[in-house]
C-alpha cells in the first residue's frame, strides 16, 4: 500500500509589530529625505488664505495647473473680503482651467464668506474649524495646518495612499483610515514632511502606472504590495546581476 505524503504546511510570516513598522518607517524617511532634499509643498501662495484656496482648487487637478491659474485670481481677489464679494461668474471664469470650476468657485467664495463672518477674515488653525468650511476636507485642512502654520498634519493624497500600501504600512483604501494608521507609524514631527516625500517619490519613481523598483532607493525595504509580478521579477533579476 502506497503511503501518502503529507503536504507540508507553509508557515505564514509573522505580522510585523508596531515597533518594527516604526523602525522601517524611520529608515524609509531617512533615505527619501536624502533623495529628495527639496521636497516641499509645490503650490504657490503668499499667505494661509491663498494656500487654502490653492489647495481647494488642486482637487482633481495638478499643482502645476493650479499655479498657472492662481496668479490672475489672487491679483484680482487677494483676500477673503474681496473674494467673498466677487461676482460668482467672474470667479468661475478665473478658475475654469482647474476643472469642476462651478463647484470650486462656489466653494472658495463660500469659504471666504465664512472666514469673514466666523473667523475675522483669518484662516483658522484647527482641523475641526477648517473642515467646516465649504470644499475643505481633512486633506486640505492638513495641508494648511502643516505648511502654513507648522502644525503637524498627515496629508493623504493618491501618492501617499498608493505608496504607503505598496510599502505595507497600511492596507486601507479609505484616506481617513490611512491617515489614522500612519499617525501611529510616522513620527509626529514628520507628518507633514512624509506627504511631501511620498509625493516626490510618487512622481519620480513609484508612479501609479508603473513602479520603477529597479531604480528605487527603498526597494529593499518595500514588500511591493500590489506591484505587478513582472515588475517584481525584473527587480529581482536586476538585483541578482548587481551581486
**What are 167-208's pLDDT values in tens digits?**
999 999 999 999 999 999 999 999 999 999 999 999 999 999
- Checking if the pLDDT of 243 tops 50, the result is no
Which pLDDT value is given to residue 16? 84
CB 148: neighbour CB atoms within 10 A? 19
Residues designated catalytic: 139, 157
Q: What is the mean pLDDT of residues 84-111?
A: 97
Which pLDDT value is given to residue 227? 83
How does the average pLDDT of the chain come out, rounded? Answer: 91
- How far does the chain reach from its first CA to its final CA, in angstroms? 49
Which pLDDT value is given to residue 22? 97
Residue 209, C-beta contacts closer than 8 angstroms, at least 6 positions apart: none
Tell me the CB-side half-sphere exposure of residue 73, using CA atoms within 13 A. Answer: 33
- Checking if the pLDDT of 36 tops 90, the result is yes
pTM: 0.84
**Residues 187-196: tens digit of each pLDDT:** 999 999 999 9
Residue 31, C-beta contacts closer than 8 angstroms, at least 6 positions apart: 217, 218, 221
Among residues of the chain, what percentage have pLDDT more than 70? 88
Domains in the chain (CATH in brackets) are 48-148 (1.10.340.30), 163-242 (1.10.1670.10)
SS3 category, 84: helix
Cβ atoms of 158 and 208 closer than 8 Å: yes
Confidence of residue 107 (pLDDT cuts 50, 70, 90): very high
Q: Which of 5-14, 147-156, 167-176, 211-220 has the lowest mean pLDDT?
A: 5-14
With the CA atoms of 23, 196, 212 and 207 taken in that order, what torsion angle do they form, in degrees rounded to the nearest 10? 130
The distance from CA 193 to its chain's CA centroid, rounded to whole angstroms, is 10
Q: What is the mean pLDDT of residues 145-166?
A: 95
Task: Measure Cα distances from 215 to 32, 35, 231 in Å.
Answer: 13, 12, 12
Amino acid at each position: 500500500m502506497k503511503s501518502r505524503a503529507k503536504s507540508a504546511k507553509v508557515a505564514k510570516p509573522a505580522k510585523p509589530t508596531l515597533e518594527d513598522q516604526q523602525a522601517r518607517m524611520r529608515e524609509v524617511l531617512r533615505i527619501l529625505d536624502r533623495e529628495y532634499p527639496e521636497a516641499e509643498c509645490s503650490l504657490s501662495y503668499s499667505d494661509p488664505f491663498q494656500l487654502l484656496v490653492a489647495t481647494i482648487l488642486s482637487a482633481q487637478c495638478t499643482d502645476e495647473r493650479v499655479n498657472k491659474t492662481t496668479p490672475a485670481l489672487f491679483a484680482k481677489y487677494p483676500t477673503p473680503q474681496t473674494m467673498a464679494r466677487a461676482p460668482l461668474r467672474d470667479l468661475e471664469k478665473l478658475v475654469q482651467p482647474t476643472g469642476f470650476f462651478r463647484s470650486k468657485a462656489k466653494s472658495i467664495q463660500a469659504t471666504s464668506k465664512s472666514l469673514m463672518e466666523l473667523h475675522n477674515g483669518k484662516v483658522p488653525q484647527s482641523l475641526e474649524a477648517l473642515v467646516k468650511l465649504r470644499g475643505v476636507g481633512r486633506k486640505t485642512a492638513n495641508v494648511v495646518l502643516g505648511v502654513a502654520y507648522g502644525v503637524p498634519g498627515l496629508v493623504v493624497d493618491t501618492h501617499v495612499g498608493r505608496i504607503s500600501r505598496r510599502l505595507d504600512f497600511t492596507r486601507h483604501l479609505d484616506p481617513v483610515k490611512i491617515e489614522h494608521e500612519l499617525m501611529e507609524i510616522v513620527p509626529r514631527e514628520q507628518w507633514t514632511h512624509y506627504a511631501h516625500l511620498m509625493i516626490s517619490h510618487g512622481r519620480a519613481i513609484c508612479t501609479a502606472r508603473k513602479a520603477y523598483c529597479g531604480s528605487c532607493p527603498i526597494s529593499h525595504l518595500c514588500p511591493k504590495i500590489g506591484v505587478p509580478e513582472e515588475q517584481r521579477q525584473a527587480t529581482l533579476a536586476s538585483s541578482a546581476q548587481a551581486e
